[in-house]
Structure 1
Amino acid sequence: MAGLREKQKASRKRALVEAASLLFKQHGYEAAKIGEIAERAEVSVGTFYNYFPSKADLLLAIVSLEVEEVLHQGEAVLGWSHDSAPEAICRLASIYYDHSLVYLTKEMWRTAMALAIQHPETPFSDRYRMLDSELVKQVTKLVEVLQAQSLLRAEIDPAAFGEVLFMSLNGLFTTYTMSEDMTLEDLNQSLSTHMRAVCG
């Protein structure tokens, strides 16, 4: 019975996340109502609050789902042979970028970023930073792979260079979320130009 309860809880939580993702996309984060999210997920408002203390926590759950999925997809890149460091980094970052609007919109990303920055001492901000840290670790692992394949110099500090690369990738993504006119193609083109400069 305990296993069944856990499955039911996971199913309700996933339903709430999916309902919120859809309604945030349709109406915008601010306009979407908790009652509407609960109704679409076929749970009561009281049940909603059993899973998420606030709408912001639900947004964070969507961001977490997004990052967890791209981390899983990114693992494959670590096992590939690569022709060059810029090419390899672009392949990994393109996975991050191409998946970025599956569950979220640019407006949702801006809201999540703003909440993390405006309230740095909150669990929301802590979790957001932790997700970034997991992405930094994966980029750092790729640096180590590229060093093993003699595509980056052995004397480079992988952790420091991984962080530099992630800051560049994240900066480009922030620019992308701030412009409704910038396309994924534009973003990936900027990425390619930056990585050739950084790894030249």
Structure 2
Amino acid sequence: MNAFIFFITKGALIMAGLREDKKRQTQLNIMESAKNIFSQKGFETASMAEIAKDAGVGTGTIYNYFPSKGALLLRIFTEEAEGMKEALQDPFSSEESGDLVESVIGAMQGFAAFFQHYPKAFWRELFHVMTGEVEESIRLRQGLFGIDEEMMKWVLNLIESHSDCFAVKVDPEEAAYAIYSAAMSDTMFYMYNEEMDIEAYKEQLARHIRFLFEGKMKSGKKE
């Protein structure tokens, strides 16, 4: 009897695992379809029904995974941002001497690459949607600000952890906010300037971050 119960339990666990795998794959399919359709049609024009059709699921099914179009977009952004954060490393984590300024630049350029995933027209439309006061706009705004805040915290912690690199007293929170503000300003300029490509955007961002650190680093610490 004990052996019978063991095999029944094991079988149930295997089936549960397979169901979870299938659910996750369905979720990924929906997200991939959404990314393609958002890129082609923009956020407002895209519908949950056509995303569901492209993903090979019913319209009702898609709402079991994502309660709204905004929630779907936020989930995509969150997973992309998580992947980006996982790639970030502390420049001083290895035995070789690190370069704080270049590491901050690398992190913010990684953040900049995030905007390359969709056309500029998509971002311009999304920024417009976010200014609305309907529930969907408010949730989008809060969710995207949350992603930005996580990136700012990473920069803040990096500066705070390596404050001995500075020749002058630097407030890590103010420094992180200044870097974030420069990044947002450069991002908006990039979004509304059709002639600026992603490389020019990254170069401008790097130049402005170096300017913020200029004259503040100890001798031997690169600016």
C-alpha displacement at 1:157, in angstroms? 1.7
- Quick check: 1:140 aligned with 2:162? no
TM-score, normalising length: structure 1: 0.83
Match of 2:113 among 72, 89, 98: 98
AA of the residue aligned to 1:188: K
Structure 1 range deviating more: 110-119 or 43-52: 110-119
Q: Quote the offset at 1:134 in angstroms.
A: 0.5
Deviating beyond 4 angstroms after TM superposition, the runs of 4 or more aligned structure 1 residues are none
In structure 2, what is the Cα distance between the partners aligned to 1:3 and 1:123?
A: 32
**Identity fraction in percent:** 29
Unaligned runs of 5+ in 2: 1-14, 215-223
Q: Give unmatched runs, 5+ long, in structure 1.
A: none
CA deviations on 1:127-178 (whole Å, 9 max, x unpaired) are 2221111011111122134424x1x346312122112211211221122122
Match of residue 123 from structure 1: 139
The answer as to 2:82 corresponding to 1:68 is yes
In 2: Cα distance, 1:75 partner to 1:112 partner: 30
1: CA distance, partners of 2:65 / 2:82? 19
**Does the Cα contact within 8 Å between 1:77 and 1:92 map onto a contact in 2?**
no
Question: Counterpart of 2:125 in structure 1: which amino acid?
Answer: T
How far is the alpha carbon of 1:15 from its aligned partner?
A: 1.0
Residues 38, 122 of structure 2: 8 Å contact kept: yes
Cα contact 1:119–1:125 (8 A) shared by 2 = no
1:74 counterpart letter in structure 2: L
CA separation in 1, counterparts of 2:127 and 2:194? 16
> Within 2, Cα distance between the matches of 1:120 and 1:134?
25
2: distance between equivalents of 1:143 and 1:34? Answer: 42
Aligned with 1:169 (options 165, 183, 189): 183
- C-alpha distance in structure 1 between counterparts of 2:39 and 2:23, whole Å: 24
Contact preservation (8 Å) 1:34, 1:55: yes
1:20: Cα distance to partner? 0.8
Amino acid at match of 2:150: E
Aligned Cα root-mean-square deviation (Å): 2.4
Number of equivalenced pairs: 196
Whole-angstrom distance in 1 between the partners of 2:90 and 2:141: 29
